[in-house]
Structure 1
Amino acid sequence: MILLHNHWLMRTLYCLLFASLFPLILVGCEDPFSDNSIRNRGFIYCGGGQPNTFNPQLSDGGLTTYTLSSQIFDRLLQFDPVTYQPIPMLAQSWIINPNGTQYTFFLRHNATFQVTDWFIPHQGVTAKDVVFSFKRLISQEHPFHHVSGGKYPWFDSMDFAGLVDNVEALDDYTVLFTLSRPDVSFLSTLATTYAVIHSSEYAKALQQEGKLSRIDTHPVGSGAFYLDEYQPHQIIRLKRHWGYWKGAAPMEQIVYDISIHGTGTLAKLVTRECDVLSSPIASQPSVIEKDPDFVLSYQTGMNVAFLALNTKHPALSSLDVRQAINLAVNRDDIIQSVYYGIGTPATGMLPPMSWAYAEHAKFTFSPRLAISLMTKAGYRHGFSVDLLVPLTPKRFNPNPRKTAELIQSNLAAIGITVNILTQEDINRKKLRDNLDNLDMVLTGWIADNGDPDNFLRPLLSCKAQSTSWNLSNWCNRSFDRFLDAAIITEDRKKRRELYLQAQTILRDRMPIIPIAHGVHYQARNLTLRGMTLSPFGDKSFANVSRNR
């Protein structure tokens, strides 16, 4: 009884603390799982981490981008689940001018915004909402541009503000985007979960109240579910949007268990505390498969795990040293020990399912040759480096700590002492001011769309240095020229040739060490239907139902 009392007391104090410090956060102090109707009219989703915002435009990945965005917000376009090509969403159709610099979108007339405790809309989705949402990204003068920090990592990494000259409403349901240059990946960009549509009417009301930042903490979208409750490090509760243009979702609510105490996510699944487990780590599927009450789905992911080398570091600036590190990493050992034999050793940044994948030979594992390159570079006696490792498992790396320890052992064999520095997850915004002081970072990438540019430009272009997504601090003008030429080339065969040349530069210059491509798993209760997987991580629960 004392333990129960202390647990209740700590929860109460915790909630009161957050309510006083963060008045804009939706906090409830009742037991989040005391509502027995959750499983009767909804489901509990475990995994995905903690949100750092409810606006995907501000996010650099994680729960907000890969799960919440697809429930709360709509985009102009979405990806076809089979072809992964952009198809209509809020935009029913579009036309492109002959030189590829003007895109005109025609919106559907029946999309409505959500009714929440903090806002009741009086108009549906119109061209003004599209203009507001994208003008915020590209215009320094926009009243919301500098709100919540004014950084839009994904858009900044691809120079979206430099690409889009203007967005204008031609009438209530017609929007014109004017680009500064052709970009054949533009439609795919608008289909990503970052490119969400906000309510301009809600924004205007927030301006009048002087509470602009609430647009990012108290979202209003047109998606199938709206945000109802948020208890930090406890739960996120979404409720059904009855006016959804596709028809109301079968499920009344979705509860995300984001608690940081108690049993692990696998235990919660096995004990029926969770209905869905997002991205179980590589060691868990064999356990889940033995339980007849669960279905385990998997899909080869559009992802890559890699080691980013700071090319401004005295030793890592040497090409011979970078090549030595590449030769010293035993990828086959990592695949067996970390991915349990399921992952694929990487031969470059693009995964095999990409249409621009370069069929390079596997990287050689040769510590002896690596030592000779170290000697050639003047580091026969080695050197020391720090390796920053985020501990949160990702679908591209199910066990970052284990991966780091294997790399540490590999590099010790050629004289490089690796000091592992851990943190729960990487916040790329915080790395921006400290980029020059990083030595190596174990990280990865999940593609936001199927275009090769989405892998290469945000992570390795010169422009991406200023957004902290280019953790290698690397800039190669020839590499950028191939990317720039590819992005204006409509012929896919010619585009592929350009991307192959860009990938050859990466393989020759080695600013990053590609490690592996992971498999995306998802476990769900057998009674749930309509739950799908996407190689890009986005998934809508608008069609999920429970069959008892």
Structure 2
Amino acid sequence: MTGVRRLSRWAGAALVSALLGACSPGTGVDRGLSKDGSGVVAAIAGEPDQLDPHRTSSYFSFEVLENTFDTLVEPDENLTMRPALAERWKVSKDRLTWTFTLREGITWQDGSKFGADDVVYSYRRIIDEKLGNAWRFEGIEHISAPDDSTVVLELDKPIYNLLSRIGGHKGLAIVNKKNVESGKIKTHPVGTGPFSVDDYNPGESVRLKANSRWWGGTPEIPSLTFRFIPEPTTAVADLEAGEVNWTDNIPPQQVERVSQNQDLKLDTAVGNDYWYLATNQKREPFGDPRVRRAIAYGIDRKAIVQATQYGNATVNQLAIPKTNPWHTAYSPYSHNPRRAAKLLAAAGVRDLKIDMLVTKEYPETVTAGQVIASQLEKIGVTVKPREVDFATWLDKQSKGEFDMLMLGWLGSQDPEDFYYAQHHTKGDFNFQKYSNSEVDRLLEEGQEETEKKARKKRYAEAARKIADDASYIYLYNPDVVQAWAPQLKGYKARSDSAVRFRDVGLTG
């Protein structure tokens, strides 16, 4: 997925508190659910760009898709891969053949029969159309369906993390061929998941209804409406007023206050996501690692975290968070403006001007852009944040039309997800155009290594080199923070940020 797959959505600028101050903790607001009193209304920070899981790279899309589609396997709350559409699997002794047995009786949300050919079609679509997750199928030589309930993956080399590759997130969802070919998948997808799309109001909301055919049982919630509320203060005010029942669009400076509101529940989890700066190495002078390192020394990560997240994040100079077993402790860059200035001088760079892409859809980029501009001004670098809409941001990133940008990436279960696509020379999301043959070798060896200790060593070495080269200038791992009305029972924030309502019940 792109570097926008899962992003925190909190504004970092100072907020006007008068609106929220009127709703003090413990006011006993009557919290209805949907307008008919039976469903859940969730406030998310932006509108999905589309609902095709293979083509979208927007977290807002995946908040919806998490509830409408299924993968062959999926991560549980501890990020251990569990059965989903496949009820079991077996692996050959040489680990080159994986055989998945599908659950019996699965149907699509339109009532048509689901089968192994649908899995083959979905995977071939990603591969043949060279979509964003095509890299996850590298090393998979053949995909077949010997019968309607069996899928076989034949590999040309062992893949340690095959399960997380094909099921780590809904970008690998199994899609309906007829739905794809009709073009309706963009706004009215047909999946196998616990909820189906009932109504889509562009610019306002998407309404889902419980899927009575779901293999996991009909969800208790009869309907689930995602409202698009980009302003965090409005999202929280609506939550406190009972207009919505769940949100993850909580301003970091309001987390403590919301946590004290006895009429709400708030949960946090250490997130697997990471935020970073990237410079365009095809544009001078950013091809010189000394210039990139100068930026890394010139910024103050703690100040950026405080301004954008109000402390609800952990500074990290690599991608993988400290709570992840694949974490490597490494912090090569202190906040050292003097050293930064010396690196620029050594590179022969003076009066550097940087055009920094930011987008209001992710307001922390706007705030961070202002903070970074102030910090780098001290080393003679002029940063001009340029605010564009998110669609333009994505277009300019893919075309390489930027000097520097800031955004985030959804971490997953495996180190490959944190580094390969972003930093391998041929990585699909290496938009900064970084290339280091030694890093390529280590990342490739990490893919093929089947012994965990040796594999961790390869990725740790690659991560250190990536940081030393400042391919990305890593900033922090944000916390996952979500709040909801107490009538929602069974909901819990997850470190992978997956928003799942299928097991949530209602009371009152």
Same fold (TM over 0.5): yes
Counterparts of 2:395 and 2:234, CA distance in 1: 28
Kindly provide the CA deviation profile for residues 328-355 of structure 1, in whole angstroms up to 9, marking residues without a partner as x: 1111212222221231111212211222
- The 5-angstrom pairing of residues 261-340 of structure 1 reads 264-340=234-310
- Retained in 2: the 8 A contact 1:38–1:253? no
Kindly provide the CA deviation profile for residues 116-163 of structure 1, in whole angstroms up to 9, marking residues without a partner as x: xxxxx342x211211121121223xxxxx4xxxxx622x14xx24543
In structure 1, the partner of 2:27 is: none
SS of corresponding position for 2:278: strand
In structure 2, the partner of 1:45 is: 42
- Retained in 1: the 8 A contact 2:145–2:152? yes
**In the alignment, is residue 412 of structure 1 matched against residue 409 of structure 2?**
no
Of 425, 430, 455, the residue aligned with 1:462 is 425
In structure 2, the partner of 1:28 is: none
In structure 2, the partner of 1:27 is: none
For residue 294 of structure 1, report the CA deviation from its aligned partner. Answer: 0.6
What letter is aligned with 1:445?
Answer: W
Of 219, 226, 234, the residue aligned with 2:204 is 234
For residue 425 of structure 1, report the CA deviation from its aligned partner. Answer: 2.5
Counterparts of 1:537 and 1:488, CA distance in 2: 28
In structure 2, the partner of 1:108 is: 103
**In the alignment, is residue 62 of structure 1 matched against residue 59 of structure 2?**
yes
Counterparts of 1:424 and 1:217, CA distance in 2: 21
In structure 2, the partner of 1:527 is: 487
What letter is aligned with 1:504?
Answer: R
What letter is aligned with 1:508?
Answer: D
In structure 1, the partner of 2:405 is: 441
What letter is aligned with 1:384?
Answer: K
For residue 368 of structure 1, report the CA deviation from its aligned partner. Answer: 1.1
- CA RMSD of superposed structures (Å): 2.2
What letter is aligned with 2:84?
Answer: M
In structure 2, the partner of 1:369 is: 339
Counterparts of 1:260 and 1:441, CA distance in 2: 21
Counterparts of 1:388 and 1:443, CA distance in 2: 9
**In the alignment, is residue 72 of structure 1 matched against residue 51 of structure 2?**
no
- Retained in 1: the 8 A contact 2:88–2:100? yes
- Retained in 2: the 8 A contact 1:441–1:471? no
In structure 2, the partner of 1:497 is: 457
- The 5-angstrom pairing of residues 469-484 of structure 1 reads 469-484=429-444
Kindly provide the CA deviation profile for residues 298-349 of structure 1, in whole angstroms up to 9, marking residues without a partner as x: 0010011111011222111222211111111111212222221231111212
What letter is aligned with 2:354?
Answer: V
What letter is aligned with 1:330?
Answer: D
- The 5-angstrom pairing of residues 125-140 of structure 1 reads 125-139=114-128
In structure 1, the partner of 2:361 is: 392
Range moving further from structure 2, 501-510 or 35-44? 35-44
Counterparts of 2:332 and 2:284, CA distance in 1: 28
- Retained in 2: the 8 A contact 1:77–1:91? yes
- Retained in 2: the 8 A contact 1:234–1:260? no
Kindly provide the CA deviation profile for residues 154-199 of structure 1, in whole angstroms up to 9, marking residues without a partner as x: x14xx24543332211111011112333221211012121111123
SS of corresponding position for 2:66: helix
Of 180, 187, 197, the residue aligned with 2:163 is 187
- Retained in 2: the 8 A contact 1:482–1:502? yes
- Retained in 2: the 8 A contact 1:311–1:472? yes
Range moving further from structure 2, 486-495 or 357-366? 357-366
| TM-score, normalization by structure 2 | 0.89
In structure 1, the partner of 2:174 is: 197
What letter is aligned with 1:152?
Answer: L
- The 5-angstrom pairing of residues 200-219 of structure 1 reads 200=177, 202-203=178-179, 212-219=182-189
For residue 37 of structure 1, report the CA deviation from its aligned partner. Answer: 5.3
* 1:172/1:477 CA distance change after superposition, 3 Å: same
What letter is aligned with 2:70?
Answer: D
For residue 262 of structure 1, report the CA deviation from its aligned partner. Answer: 12
What letter is aligned with 1:165?
Answer: E
What letter is aligned with 1:60?
Answer: S
Counterparts of 1:457 and 1:440, CA distance in 2: 21
- Retained in 2: the 8 A contact 1:74–1:222? yes
- Retained in 2: the 8 A contact 1:528–1:546? yes
In structure 2, the partner of 1:20 is: none
**In the alignment, is residue 152 of structure 1 matched against residue 101 of structure 2?**
no
Give the total of aligned pairs.
476
Counterparts of 1:463 and 1:431, CA distance in 2: 19
Range moving further from structure 2, 510-519 or 359-368? 359-368
Counterparts of 1:433 and 1:543, CA distance in 2: 37
For residue 488 of structure 1, report the CA deviation from its aligned partner. Answer: 1.4
- Retained in 2: the 8 A contact 1:315–1:321? yes
- Retained in 2: the 8 A contact 1:280–1:522? yes
Counterparts of 1:527 and 1:252, CA distance in 2: 14
For residue 242 of structure 1, report the CA deviation from its aligned partner. Answer: 0.9
Kindly provide the CA deviation profile for residues 215-241 of structure 1, in whole angstroms up to 9, marking residues without a partner as x: 333211111110000000111000011
SS of corresponding position for 1:453: helix
* 1:427/1:74 CA distance change after superposition, 3 Å: farther
Counterparts of 1:528 and 1:173, CA distance in 2: 36
Counterparts of 2:33 and 2:488, CA distance in 1: 17
Counterparts of 1:364 and 1:94, CA distance in 2: 47
Kindly provide the CA deviation profile for residues 271-305 of structure 1, in whole angstroms up to 9, marking residues without a partner as x: 21110012423122123123211101000100111
**In the alignment, is residue 81 of structure 1 matched against residue 45 of structure 2?**
no
**In the alignment, is residue 430 of structure 1 matched against residue 395 of structure 2?**
yes
Kindly provide the CA deviation profile for residues 405-464 of structure 1, in whole angstroms up to 9, marking residues without a partner as x: 1111111110111111112336675236521x31101112111x2101101012111122
What letter is aligned with 1:169?
Answer: A
What letter is aligned with 1:253?
Answer: S
What letter is aligned with 1:331?
Answer: R
- Retained in 1: the 8 A contact 2:332–2:468? no
In structure 1, the partner of 2:13 is: none
| TM-score, normalization by structure 1 | 0.82
Counterparts of 1:197 and 1:313, CA distance in 2: 39
SS of corresponding position for 2:390: coil
Counterparts of 1:160 and 1:331, CA distance in 2: 32
SS of corresponding position for 1:305: strand
- Retained in 2: the 8 A contact 1:310–1:511? no
Counterparts of 1:41 and 1:89, CA distance in 2: 27
What letter is aligned with 2:123?
Answer: F
In structure 2, the partner of 1:343 is: 313
Unaligned runs of 5+ in 2: 1-31
**In the alignment, is residue 508 of structure 1 matched against residue 472 of structure 2?**
no
- Retained in 2: the 8 A contact 1:453–1:487? yes
Counterparts of 1:304 and 1:389, CA distance in 2: 16
